Structure 1
Amino acid sequence: MSKVVVVGGGPAGMMAAISAAKYNKVLLIEKNEKIGKKLFITGKGRCNVTNAKDIGEFINHIPTNPYFLYSSLYSFTNEDTMNFFESKGTKLKVERGDRVFPVSDKSSDIIKTLENELKNSNVEIMLNSNVEKLVLDNNRITEIILANGKKIYGDHFIICGGGASYPHTGSDGVILEEIKKTGHSIISLKPSLVPIELSDDFIKDLQGLSLKNVELSIKNNKNKVAFKELGEMLFTHFGISGPLVLSASSNIKEHEKYKISINFKPALTLEELDKRVQKDFKENLNRDFKNSLDGLFPKKLIPIMVQLSGIDENKKVNAITKEERKKFVDLIHDFNLTYKGLRPVSEAIVTAGGIDTKEIDPSTMKSKIVENLSFAGEIIDVDAYTGGYNVQIAFSTGYLAGMKVSE
């Protein structure tokens, strides 16, 4: 029986250890005081464990190297994930956007299920153990050395060290430097699923405003659409966040300029919106413009819309010209924001970049460079939109890496 050493106790590492333990003796090494620390905060502490969409649709929600994941996603599908937890007594539910959560809304229940399965699979867990060095000899890893000097031997090693997002959870990207020494190429880490900073002065006045059913569009400096989707978003003290914005950030390249626009009424064409505004204006003919917009916008947004419309806030609605109204309708359909940049990688939910997928066998997750080395999870250069896709990628790649160790 071979000894498999799994580095990293996140979702990928835990699943890799569980699947490898079917045919091997497994040691799971985690640098934190407990496993599943990052998983604990996913889905705002509720753990968005996967997405219930047809597995064939997952590719459309993975902007980085989606086809590399084909084998792993079909080896351990989202249905397999749901069956795994429900068969062990953790009931799940499907919410808006096909997001899957535990019925209890507690990420701790998901982690507890994984912990129990690790225990039942006789996986040895070593906590508070930080990997400092990978020792390579004749194209094989012979041992890993921990920060305390302890040497760990094994026949096969699966690295699931995560990216560089939420470094306080242990996902700090440090182990990538050691992997680089083995001959692997590392795609530079950058934030993905991260809030966006804006430089508009009015942002501070919109802080805390949540918008639903709006359309966010992002164009690059060549006026090409980089992202366009409906959803929810939130204004913050520095810019914008929320599910829609996090997904949009995956399509933004560093050091490039972008134009950001919000369509507040995407269900209506410009002509339909103009009729809607005319209807609202007719109901408020004798009111000041600033007091006529309650039916169109949340209160926090009204002063900004009035300011940017160019219409005097005290102007009576019956005195607003057709040209002024048309300009106002255009503003509602195309509310421009000034892009400043992405928030730091430490604030990202997921990291883009990592080990080059060209150097990993997608059918086994094994390294094409080092004989007894495999990878799984966020440490690989793959990332997806928000909605449970990234956790599923971790489970799928972890499962495949563990299952293929003996082949």
Structure 2
Amino acid sequence: MILVIGGGPAGMMAAIKAAETAEVTLIEKNEKLGKKLFITGKGRCNLCNDCDDPFFFEVLNRNASFMYSSYYSFTAAMLKDFFESRGTPLKVERGDRVFPKSDKSSDIIKTLARELEKRKVVVRLNTTVESVEREEDGYVLRTNRGTFRGDKVIVATGGMTYRLTGSTGDGYGFAEDFGMGIIKPVAGLVGLKLKESYLDELSGLSLKNVALTATTKEGSFSDFGEMLFTHFGISGPIVLSLSSKINRSDKVDLSLDLKPALTEEVLDKRLLREVKNNSNRAMHNLMKNLLPKSLIAPVLDQAQVDQDLPAHQLSVEMRRGLIHTLKNFRLRYAGLFNENTGIITTGGVDVKDVDPSTMESKKAKGLYFCGEVLDVDGPTGGFNLQIAFSSGYLAGMCSGEEE
């Protein structure tokens, strides 16, 4: 008997694979399977990324090499085939993101649930595992609904963000009970708080085709695309991606290139043209041709250019300062949004204590870990669900093998 703790993507895939060769019981604390999976991709479920296999490892933020065995055991192509061969058609969108054609995450969950039923996996809902203990001939799980015994255990309990979906960090305690290390869990793919006083005026402003750079003592990281101002700071795709690279740093310098497609020389010519054509207009009016209205005042203030200054009075020094600000608009970092708002958790079970070729703990034979509970994570775009499905598949396959 194999006991799987957690009914998310990693746990369901582990149970499905293990059930090919063994009896399996899946234990889930929620009232239904895939509660967090249901809300991924804004309810559409960005299942994986249709990139070339080597690119998958290039974009992972932490411990990419740990994923070699599990990913090549169950690649993106294999994951897509798993669902399409079971009657769930998929589509590929911008950025090679893979979604169900129906745009319904519930269709992905239903496919997994049907497969669990087909493989005769016993599913126990509303059952919270309180402890995992080792016995001479296997393991015993003590829960709020009695005791379960099995030869092997697969821990797929997720991280510690989006706690309403059941991700409350249970797996970390199970790992520590067996002497395994835990890398401090921190929210990943999360918004960044700012100290700026103008955030209320900018809240809701969405910027496209901008470049955000974050500099820490570990290095400098940049991303290009879309971002959003909120009442507390900034969010959106490029912000979320950068957050997982800087979320362990106390000091972060943020810089926003508002015109990344233009060099300073080209931008200078553009600004000179605007000044020539609007020489008697105030600078805050002239800048409407270059920036969203709500961003004009913050940019001019940072460039130390009076908003009411007539354009023809803009000096060479002022113009250079304004161009520099447009290319390097500074944002004062004040930390991460509430950790519970992070899409994923970075950190978790130290992969040094897990065999990457099997997902088995190096500290306890017959105990496996997979999915978000591990210290492996990637950017948005389907990479984190791929980590869950691939590591779950390998854990299920190896736990189901005869000794």
TM-score norm. by structure 1 comes to 0.95
Structure-to-structure mapping, 1:310-349, within 5 angstroms: 310-349=304-343
SS of residue paired to 1:211: strand
Please, which of 140, 144, 147 is the counterpart of residue 144 of structure 2?
Answer: 147
Partner of 2:371: 377
Structure-to-structure mapping, 1:2-401, within 5 angstroms: 3-138=1-136, 141-148=138-145, 150-220=146-216, 222=217, 225-254=219-248, 256-401=250-395
SS of residue paired to 2:40: helix
Q: How many percent identity over aligned positions? A: 48
Displacement of 1:200 after TM fit? Answer: 1.2
SS of residue paired to 1:293: helix
> Given that residues 156 and 171 in structure 2 are in contact (C-alpha distance below 8 angstroms), is that contact kept between their aligned partners in structure 1?
no
Give the residue type in structure 1 aligned to 2:226: E
> Given that residues 134 and 141 in structure 1 are in contact (C-alpha distance below 8 angstroms), is that contact kept between their aligned partners in structure 2?
no
Alignment partners' CA distance in 1, 2:135 and 2:114: 36
Alignment partners' CA distance in 2, 1:296 and 1:101: 36
Displacement of 1:253 after TM fit? Answer: 4.4
TM-score norm. by structure 2 comes to 0.96
Alignment partners' CA distance in 1, 2:144 and 2:342: 27
Displacement of 1:338 after TM fit? Answer: 0.5
> Given that residues 17 and 123 in structure 1 are in contact (C-alpha distance below 8 angstroms), is that contact kept between their aligned partners in structure 2?
yes
Alignment partners' CA distance in 1, 2:270 and 2:118: 62
Deviates more, 1:301-310 or 1:26-35: 301-310
SS of residue paired to 2:30: coil
**Against the structure 1 CA distance between its residues 113 and 275, is the aligned structure 2 distance closer, same or farther, given a 3 Å change threshold?**
same
Cα deviation digits, residues 336-369 of structure 1 (max 9, x gap): 0111111232111111111111111101111111
Give the residue type in structure 2 aligned to 1:147: N
**Against the structure 1 CA distance between its residues 141 and 317, is the aligned structure 2 distance closer, same or farther, given a 3 Å change threshold?**
farther
Give the residue type in structure 1 aligned to 2:92: V
Alignment partners' CA distance in 2, 1:380 and 1:269: 42
Give the residue type in structure 1 aligned to 2:250: E
Give structure 2 stretches of 5+ with no counterpart: none
Alignment partners' CA distance in 2, 1:289 and 1:155: 73
SS of residue paired to 2:46: coil
Alignment partners' CA distance in 2, 1:356 and 1:214: 35
Deviates more, 1:152-161 or 1:129-138: 129-138
SS of residue paired to 2:330: strand
Displacement of 1:106 after TM fit? Answer: 1.3
> Given that residues 141 and 370 in structure 1 are in contact (C-alpha distance below 8 angstroms), is that contact kept between their aligned partners in structure 2?
no
> Given that residues 143 and 153 in structure 1 are in contact (C-alpha distance below 8 angstroms), is that contact kept between their aligned partners in structure 2?
yes
Displacement of 1:135 after TM fit? Answer: 1.4
Cα deviation digits, residues 263-294 of structure 1 (max 9, x gap): 01111111111112222333322322111122
Alignment partners' CA distance in 1, 2:176 and 2:391: 20
SS of residue paired to 1:301: helix
Give the residue type in structure 2 aligned to 1:219: T
Displacement of 1:137 after TM fit? Answer: 3.0
Cα deviation digits, residues 372-403 of structure 1 (max 9, x gap): 11111001111111111000000000001101
**How large is the RMSD of aligned CA atoms in angstroms?**
1.4
SS of residue paired to 1:248: helix
> Given that residues 5 and 27 in structure 1 are in contact (C-alpha distance below 8 angstroms), is that contact kept between their aligned partners in structure 2?
yes
Displacement of 1:169 after TM fit? Answer: 0.3
Give the residue type in structure 2 aligned to 1:305: V
Displacement of 1:306 after TM fit? Answer: 2.7
Displacement of 1:96 after TM fit? Answer: 1.7
Alignment partners' CA distance in 2, 1:9 and 1:15: 9
Give the residue type in structure 2 aligned to 1:158: I
Cα deviation digits, residues 206-259 of structure 1 (max 9, x gap): 111111111110112x5x643112121111111111111111111114352110
Displacement of 1:318 after TM fit? Answer: 2.0
SS of residue paired to 1:231: strand
Give the residue type in structure 2 aligned to 1:93: K
Alignment partners' CA distance in 2, 1:106 and 1:402: 26
Aligned pairs, how many?
Answer: 401
Alignment partners' CA distance in 1, 2:164 and 2:138: 28
Give the residue type in structure 2 aligned to 1:175: G
Alignment partners' CA distance in 2, 1:262 and 1:255: 19
